[in-house]
Amino acid sequence: MASDISTSLIEQINNAIENKSPLVISGGGSKAFYGNRVEGETLSTAKHTGIIEYQPSELVVTVRSGTRLSELEAELAAKNQMLAFEPPQHSKDSTIGGVIACGLSGPRRVACGAARDFVLGATIINGRGEKLRFGGQVMKNVAGYDAARLMTGAQGTLGVLLDVSLKVLPLNETEVSLKIQTHLDNAVSSLRTWVKNGLPLTASCYVDNSLYLRLGSTHSAVKKAVQDTGKHYSADEIDSAFWQTIKNQTHPFFSDNENLWRCSHQNTTAFYENINKQLVEWHGALRWIHSEGNMHTIAAEHGGHASRYPLQAAPVDDIFQPLPEALLHLQRNLKRAFDPDGLLNPGRLYRAL
């Protein structure tokens, strides 16, 4: 059945090549907000589902792109394992293909790495209608110029993801979540100290004058870490469900999403001035900001980048930080190599591509 679906996808791409008609790639549709609007015929991977191979002892899973993220995470959790980059699930229909295509990572990214770091291999259909396999199913196969990881964050502009092989990690033996009332400057300063001292921080978040911490490791390491934080702050233990609201962006902060921006920097970067409403993750490196202004310019001045993040609001254009001309030139060359007719999600990342 899966091969029949991939065959029909190839046929659809070949027809698009013949007719010079653009294609809009879609899985569960939950991330349609994350990118410029694209007009064209829909190419859906929603029925291309299922886990192809899962080797818990090898910490590797290979899964078809249309598989729901919730189903994959449940299968991994049954073996006490996880997707360590903790991707957001924007709806029940969110797929693993959409997660990788958008390159999105959640709270644990600061401790374990980004989505791209866990991609071992991928099978795609390029804009020539060719089915290609890159990478493998073990880390040693991922060497040199790794085209599989190029697909992470490419938003389907280089190829249609058919399946992806991912490294997974064991769940922590123990995890404890804490809430601390403090000022932002104190919170970020303490986080830097704790990271330097090796505390097992698997996530941090600052919002509404409160610092939230997640500590994860062995029982003894977490117990000691809780004691260390208690030397400086009075902390309340909270339910771990808080991190699901941050991971899946369902926390009340995200409900007013019309003017929401996602700004990424070095965690030592100074905070923007005159910003009244923000949520800070990744020990200060990721700042969610509500602003009616253009944060691209401000982010660039701070050595970072900003993306519009309208979630359920009406789609907007110019989502992503503008590229320097040299990088845009490289992106154009990549696009031509994988999709010479420019038919796959044209303009979704940048209008010039």
Tens-of-pLDDT digits for all 353 residues of the chain? 556 788 999 999 999 999 999 999 999 999 988 988 899 999 999 999 999 999 999 999 999 999 999 999 999 999 999 999 999 999 999 999 999 999 999 999 999 999 999 999 999 999 999 999 998 765 454 444 578 999 999 999 999 999 999 999 999 999 999 999 999 999 999 999 999 999 999 999 999 999 999 999 999 999 999 999 998 899 999 999 999 999 999 999 998 777 899 999 998 898 888 887 899 999 999 999 999 888 999 999 999 999 998 886 666 678 899 999 999 999 999 999 999 999 999 999 998 88
Neighbouring residues of 147: CB distance < 8 A, sequence distance ≥ 6:
122, 132, 134, 135
What gap in Å lies between CA 303 and CA 351, rounded to an integer? 23
Parallel, antiparallel, or unpaired for β 119-125 and 278-281?
A: unpaired
Which residue from 302, 233, 220, 226 is spatially nearest to 261, judged by alpha carbons? Answer: 302
Q: Which residues of the chain are in CATH 3.30.465.10 domains?
A: 2-170+325-338
Give Cα 142 distance to the centre of its chain. Answer: 20
Residues near 89 by beta carbon (within 8 Å), at least 6 away in sequence: 30, 69, 70, 73, 247, 248
CATH of 173-313, one of 1.20.120, 1.10.3470, 3.30.70, 3.30.420: 3.30.70
User: Which residues of the chain does CATH 3.30.70 include?
Assistant: 173-313
Architecture of domain 2-170+325-338: 2-Layer Sandwich (3.30)
